[in-house]
Chains A and B, each alone.
Chain A
């Protein structure tokens, strides 16, 4: 019969934590991990999706084929990581001020994208200008977000500022 400290008459699962400091074996190519935390990653997510769509879809396809183990799909995963790192490096090089303003706003607003549109518009414009990456909503008709046909007054102002 199982016992526990809290109630000696009923079974009780006590969680404990497992850590594993051994590194990956040397036959697996090592790749740097993404160092961005949640808010910058959310801010850059649409641009990562725009540039890394083939690699991300490869990885998801590999997972959907039933290869869900820890050592499956490592090659596709390495490609996903490298591509995302490249997007983050380019954003930091070209648009760091707008990027930091946007993810700073997100971190303050519970990661709600709809509350940070004012800081998102300059970031979209800057990334479109320097990186040629446009934010596109998946499963929509595909119009890039920072290039509406009839832009609002605010969007026209932002666009004019970045096309001087």
Chain B
């Protein structure tokens, strides 16, 4: 019986470690995904936040655009 409690504690601890001690983000829409991608570009870590007014210089050129390859044969 006690093993269930141990396993559950271990699973939730592992999840919290990934999320930086926070509860996971749920119901993410396109806006949230865009903002989380921007956060990753700013802080280089998953779900790490920063409240600096001014961004580091490499943020200006770190944008990523997605494109699809057009096959031309």
CA distance A14 to B67 in the complex (A): 8
Residues of B near A24 (CB, < 8 A) are 60
Among residues 121 to 142 in chain A, which have CB atoms less than 8 Å away from a CB atom of chain B? none
Smallest beta-carbon distance B24→chain A, Å: 8
Docked complex: A75-106 residues within 8 A CB-CB of B: 85-86, 88-89, 92, 96, 99-100, 103
- A11 close to B (CB within 8 Å): yes
Name the interface residues of A4-48: CB closer than 8 Å to any CB of B.
4, 11, 13-24, 32-40
Query: Would you give the shortest CB distance from B45 to chain A, in whole angstroms?
Result: 10
- Interface 1/0 per residue, B8-32 and A, CB below 8 Å: 0000000000000011011100001
How many Å lie between the Cα of A14 and that of B50 in the bound state? Answer: 34
Q: Is the CB of A40 within 8 A of B51?
A: yes
Q: List the 10 closest pairs (A to B, CB-CB), nearest first.
A: A35-B52, A35-B55, A13-B68, A40-B51, A88-B53, A38-B35, A33-B55, A2-B71, A37-B39, A32-B54
